[in-house]
A and B are shown apart, each in its own frame.
Chain A
Amino acid sequence: AQSVTQPDIHITVSEGASLELRCNYSYGATPYLFWYVQSPGQGLQLLLKYFSGDTLVQGIKGFEAEFKRSQSSFNLRKPSVHWSDAAEYFCAVVSGGSNYKLTFGKGTLLTVNP
């Protein structure tokens, strides 16, 4: 079965510092990969997605992610974090060729210090 691992439950960074959130997936074929963000009391907002093509994907709010097949990873990065980026981040993969069912990681909570 497909699975997604986010190794870091909680990360704290200082405002202006760079950020990398890790995501590893287990999936036999070429995956569809996603990063979502959830602010307190809010629904999930799509940051970016990868289906095929260029392995470096640009998203909203200055985020980017790189698909590395050899490492089964899809890490999310941002060069300079803003206080408003404090939220929970979820990596997800489409499951089993279904083209509709998302399997999510457990999430990484990001705290931003002033």
Chain B
Amino acid sequence: DSGVTQTPKHLITATGQRVTLRCSPRSGDLSVYWYQQSLDQGLQFLIQYYNGEERAKGNILERFSAQQFPDLHSELNLSSLELGDSALYFCASSVEGLAGVDEQFFGPGTRLTVL
């Protein structure tokens, strides 16, 4: 158990819908990362938040957005869902993630299926 929790574990929805994935980082970790794992694209970095502020952005679609709240939990919002958005979404957390090696601890992931 990495200490990072993600809910829900599984999510099945229809095209055009909107969903919210939730992540609680390890106690004391200030950085949260979101990654997408799909058969087509592999494991891709989406976005990083540090202490409530967006820190780095990857190949995140405009239909996707994220935020980190004052209690440091984070949510990833996916809207106008398409079949291709079906994937495993990981959240990871680290102490800082600003510079230097800072191990990222991964949550168990949320499996999103878009029908």
Q: Do A and B come from one complex?
A: no
Which B positions have Cβ atoms within 8 angstroms of A?
Answer: none
Which A positions have Cβ atoms within 8 angstroms of B?
Answer: none
